[in-house]
Structure 1
Amino acid sequence: MSRDPLKVTSTRLPGTRSGLSRGGRRTLLAVVAAIAVLLGVGVGALGQDPTTSPTAATTPAPSTPAPSTPEPSTSAPATSSPTPAPVTLDPDTGLLGEDDAAAAVSAAPPGTALAALAQLPVQGRAPRTGYDRDQFGSGWVDTDRNGCDTRNDVLARDLTAEQFRPGTNDCVVTSGVLADPYSGTTISFLRGQGTSEEVQIDHVVALSNSWQTGAQQWDEQTRVAFANDPLNLLAVDGPLNQQKGDGDTATWLPPNRAYRCAYVARQVAVKLTYGLWTTPAEHTAMATVLTSCPEEPLPVAG
C-alpha cells in the first residue's frame, strides 16, 4: 500500500502522552504572563505624560489671603477743650483792657456768669439824688409770707448750729455759727445788744448802687422785692459789710479771694434779674474777675 508523503504519523513512545507535559504547560503559561506584564508596563510608561509624573509635580504655593479693608470707625474723634486765650492786665490798674474784656465775654461758655455779663447794659452812673433807704421799704419785711422776716430767713439759711427763740415757730434766730464768705473766717453769732452787729445782712448789689443804675424808675413794690430778695442777700462779717458801703465791683471786693468769683457772679445775676445796668468801670472789673474763673455758673436763686 502506498503512503501519503505529506502525512506524518507520530509515534508515541511507550509510557508517554501526546503533546506537552503538564509541567511544560505551566512553564509556558508563566513565560506568556511575564511577557504580558512587561508589555503592559512598557506601554503605560510610553503613554504617560511627563507633566503628570509625581516627580515632576510641583507643590502649589500657599495662597495669600487678600488684605481686609478696615471698617470705618463709628466713634467720634477725641476733642480737647479749647485753651483760653491769654489776657493781659493793665499793670497800673490790674484790670483787663477794653478789648480783652470784650473778647473774654464773647468767648465765655453758655450758662456762665461771664457769658451773662454780655447781657448787662453799660452806661454811666445816674445821680444819687432822691435816694433814701425807705424807698425800698421800712426795714425787713415778710415778702414770702412764711411768718418770718427776711433777716431771720437769711440767718437761718446761712448759719449752722442755729438756735431759735422759743415760741417763734423756728423764726427768730438767737445764735449760730457763720462761715463768713467775705473774710474766710468763722464767726459766732449771738443775738443781743452789742453782739448782733457781728453778723450783718449784706445787699450784694447795694441799694444805693441799684438806685443809680436803674432802680429810680421802679415802683415801690419792685424796690421792696429787690431789697428782700434772697438772691441779693448774704449773712456776712459786720465790719466788712460796713467797709463795703455801696461800692460796686470796681471799688470793693471781698478780702477772701477764693470767694470773689462767686461774689461777682451773684452781682451779675441780680443785675440781670432786675434789668440794672453797669458802669464801664464796673463792667471791666467784673470781666477781670470772671475771666479768672470762666466756668463760674450764674446763680439762679437765693
Structure 2
Amino acid sequence: MRRLRGGTVIAVMAAITMTGCKDQTTGSGGPAETGSGGAALAAARSLTVKGRAPKTGYDRDRFGTAWADTDSNSCDTRDDILKRDLKELKFTGGKCKVSYGVLEPDPYSGKNVTYRRGRSLVDIDHVVALSDAWQKGAKYWDPSKRIALANDPLNLVAVDASTNRGKGDGDTATWLPPNAGYRCAYVAGQVAVKKKYGLWVTAAEKAAMEKVLSGCPDQKLPTGGNPTEAPARFHAD
C-alpha cells in the first residue's frame, strides 16, 4: 500500500470535527457488536497512550504467511472474510474459494463493488494495519500472537480496493473512511482490536478516536474473533 501524502492528518482531523456520527452497525458483514451503550467510547478512553515506536524491523512476514487457516476450517482467512462480507456468492471447487460476490455496499466508500476472483477490486483490510500494530506493541510479541492478529476476523473487513489503498498504514488520527456513515463503526473496530491485543495508541490517535465516538455515544464495541494466540502449529518463528 502507498504511504499517506502530506496534508492527510489535517484533512482527517477536519473531517472528524465536522462530521457527527450516529450509532452505526458494521455495514456489510463485519464482527458482531455487543455491550452496553457507550462501550466503544469508554474503551477508547481506557487505551494506553505512548509514542509511536520506530518501524525498524517491520516486515509482513513477521505476521506469518498471508491468510493462514488459523481456525482450522480448511479455508484460508481471505476466503472466510469474503464469505462473511459478500452477497450473491459463487464458488470454485467447493465452498472455500469465492469466485464471485458483491459488496453491497462497500463500508469504506459506500458504493457497491463487484468481486471476481483474480481481479483486485476488493481488498481484505486489516482494520488496525499490521505496521501500525508493529509500532505500537506487536514488535515485542511472540510470533503466534502476531499471526493471530493478522488473521483475526475482528480485525478484517472486505472493502473497495481503490479506497483502501489510500489508507496505507494510517491510524484514526491520519485516515478515516470517506463514507462518513461508517466512521463510528470503523473507529469502534480499531478500538476493539487494540484493546483485545493490548496495543497502545498515540495521544493524537486517542484524541481522534474520542472525537469520532463522542459523536455517536451509543456506539457499541465489536467483540468476538479468534483467540489472541494462533494454534501450536503456527508457533515457529
Runs of 4+ in 1 over 6 A off after TM superposition: none
1:177 counterpart SS class: strand
1:173 counterpart SS class: strand
Aligned ranges for residues 42-121 of structure 1 at < 5 Å? 94=14, 112-121=39-48
Percent same amino acid among aligned pairs?
A: 60
- Corresponding residue for residue 59 of structure 2: 132
Decide which of 96, 99, 111 is 1:174's aligned counterpart: 99
Contact 2:45 2:210 in 1 (8 A): no
* Whole-angstrom CA distance in 1 between matches of 2:86 and 2:211: 31
Q: Deviations over 1:255-288 (max 9, x none)?
A: 0000000000000000000000000000000011
Whether 1:242 and 2:168 are equivalent positions in the alignment is no
Which of 1 and 2 has higher RCO (CA within 8 Å, sep 6+)?
2
Contact 2:100 2:116 in 1 (8 A): yes
Q: 1:277 is matched by which residue type in structure 2? A: W
| TM-score w.r.t. length of structure 2 | 0.79
- Corresponding residue for residue 150 of structure 1: 77
* Whole-angstrom CA distance in 2 between matches of 1:212 and 1:290: 24
Q: 2:205 is matched by which residue type in structure 1? A: E
- Corresponding residue for residue 224 of structure 1: 147
Q: 1:214 is matched by which residue type in structure 2? A: G
- Corresponding residue for residue 65 of structure 1: none
Whether 1:281 and 2:232 are equivalent positions in the alignment is no
Q: Deviations over 1:57-109 (max 9, x none)?
A: xxxxxxxxxxxxxxxxxxxxxxxxxxxxxxxxxxxx5467xxxxxxxxxxxx7
Q: What's the C-alpha RMSD, in Å, of the aligned pairs? A: 1.7
Q: Deviations over 1:224-253 (max 9, x none)?
A: 010000000000000111110100000000
1:235 counterpart SS class: strand
* Whole-angstrom CA distance in 1 between matches of 2:122 and 2:48: 33
Decide which of 152, 161, 168 is 2:88's aligned counterpart: 161
Q: 2:100 is matched by which residue type in structure 1? A: S
* Whole-angstrom CA distance in 1 between matches of 2:106 and 2:154: 17
Q: Deviations over 1:153-186 (max 9, x none)?
A: 00000000101113x3x00000011120000000
Contact 2:37 2:217 in 1 (8 A): no
* Whole-angstrom CA distance in 2 between matches of 1:258 and 1:111: 18
Q: 1:242 to 1:147 in 2, by over 3 A?
A: same
| TM-score w.r.t. length of structure 1 | 0.62
Give 1:110 shift.
5.9
Structure whose CA Rg is larger? 1
* Whole-angstrom CA distance in 1 between matches of 2:98 and 2:38: 35
Contact 2:49 2:203 in 1 (8 A): yes
Contact 2:38 2:217 in 1 (8 A): no
Give 1:301 shift.
2.1
* Whole-angstrom CA distance in 2 between matches of 1:230 and 1:141: 12
* Whole-angstrom CA distance in 2 between matches of 1:113 and 1:125: 22
Whether 1:188 and 2:151 are equivalent positions in the alignment is no
Q: Deviations over 1:172-203 (max 9, x none)?
A: 000011120000000111112xx2x1001000
- Corresponding residue for residue 122 of structure 1: 49
Whether 1:208 and 2:131 are equivalent positions in the alignment is yes
Give 1:121 shift.
0.2
Whether 1:301 and 2:231 are equivalent positions in the alignment is no
